[in-house]
Amino acid sequence: MGYIKDLFKEKSTALNADIKKMIAEHGDYKIGEITIAQVYQGMRGMTGLITETSLLDSNEGIRFRGYSIPELREKLPKAEGGTEPLPEGLFHLMLIGELPTKEDVDHLTAVWARRSHVPNYVFDVIESLPVNTHPMTQFSIGIMALQRESIFAKEYEKGINKKDHWDFIYEDTMNLIARLPRVAAYIYRRKYKNGDHIHPNGMLDWAGNFAHMLGIEDKGFWALMRLYMTIHADHEGGNVSAHTTHLVGSALSDPYLALAAGMNGLAGPLHGLANQEVIRWIEEMQRELETEAPSKEQIADYIRKTLSEGKVVPGYGHAVLRKTDPRFTAQMEFGKTHCPDDPLVQTVWNIYDVAPGILGETGKIKNPWPNVDAHSGALLKHYGLVEEDFYTVLFGVSRALGVLASLCWDRALGLPLERPKSVTTEYLKKLVVGE
């Protein structure tokens, strides 16, 4: 058994014992009450899931195993001469619960490089799609095509002890994470670079190699990819991509099936597609105002116009967060170091100056502050990754780290089939009148 797998087994065995004790001693402890409004309004604030990898505070933002994004930018191991954390380190932290050493991170880099082969039939499936198919659709279909490789599915068919489920889920997780950059880069080069594909470089770290396969050799972009892959990886368990992966996995669907389902949720405009929408919204504003650098007054008017048309201002608002997303702030800091004079980046900052006030004035938007998607596109454009309909695929490659680490935990903890109760409005009407 590999070294990180041994560690995971040790940690999950210990937590399993803690959970058994907790349920035995405090199983009846009440952690909340449920109102009718919550049931109708997307279950906001309703605690109903266990996700070990990260925890979201509505004011402070995300913490991965207790560590905030600024702390991780400082503490996680970096590439040789690099400034940003290696996402391998975040995966180790989420899976094991402890900060990795540089050796731990190098180990993961090597394991993923070794497992990264993508069979040709997967590319054939992607090639069979019209080239103008949305990259997220191609990505999801690519993951589904890979499902044939699932070790868990094969072993389950043979018949395995429930206690061993986690072992094969772990193997699939490692293989799938290793393969995703190649699948994603293939889709990018196919759609935008006439199928001129770039071979992986097995000497590079996971995100550096991904950047290389996309075809952008600027080391600033490699740093951005390492940061991007780290900060988009996980946002506790209730968001659509994490919750979907977890739910589908609870049916003992293998990690390929579960991740593809999660990616289909990430592809929605209120979730991961918002990064594409932000850039489109800014570009429409520039076109309409006939300027590359709209003033703050012009931006304010354009935001009001968007609201009056009954549309959302993409990149702003959040179901849980109530302050500026630290993932936005991390990207802003990156921009200040690497591209402070870029006009599009400056427009993102000007929007940040005016949008929260206007959104707040509506009185109905609970969080007028920017989320992760408000910033990412401007940085990608700066380095020449200008095809915004690809942006959600980048988000997806990163998100796989968190949701698949969680899936390993789900099976290691033996979490059951998820099946909450639903009721009809008729049922609730009778309930409130006491019939």
Question: What mask of x and - would describe binding to ligand CMX in positions 343 to 372, judged by CB under 6 A?
Answer: ---------------------xxxx---xx
At its nearest, how many Å lie between ligand CMX and the CB of residue 267? 11
Q: Which of 316, 328, 391, 409 binds ligand CMX (CB under 6 A)?
A: 316
Q: How far is the CB of 265 from ligand CMX (least distance, A)?
A: 10
Least Å distance, CB 196 to ligand CMX, is 31
Residues 366-405 that bind ligand CMX (CB under 6 A): 366-367, 371-373
Q: List beta partners, residue 85.
A: 78
Q: For residues 15 and 43, which CB has a smaller minimum distance to ligand CMX in the complex?
A: 43
- Applying the rule CB under 6 A, the residues between 262 and 281 that interact with ligand CMX are 270-272, 274
Tell me how far, at minimum, the Cβ of 383 lies from ligand CMX, in Å: 21
6 in active site: no
Q: Is 314 in the site for ligand CMX (CB under 6 A)?
A: yes
Q: Which of 271, 338, 375, 382 is catalytic?
A: 271
The one among 108, 257, 261, 313 contacting ligand CMX by CB under 6 A: 313
Q: Which of 92, 212, 235, 318 is catalytic?
A: 318
Choosing from 246, 373, 382, 410, the catalytic residue is 373
- Note if 338 is an active site residue: no
Q: Is 375 one of the catalytic residues?
A: no
Q: Which residue minimizes CB distance to ligand CMX?
A: 317
Shortest separation between residue 390's beta carbon and ligand CMX, angstroms = 16
Number of residues lying near ligand CMX (CB under 6 A) = 21
Does 61 interact with ligand CMX (rule: CB under 6 A)?
A: no
Site string for ligand CMX, 227-266 (x = CB under 6 A): ------------x---------------------------
| Shorter beta-carbon distance to ligand CMX: residue 130 or 310 | 310
Q: Which residues bind ligand CMX (CB under 6 A)?
A: 239, 270-272, 274, 307, 312-319, 364-367, 371-373
Give the residue numbers annotated as catalytic, written as ranges. 271, 318, 373
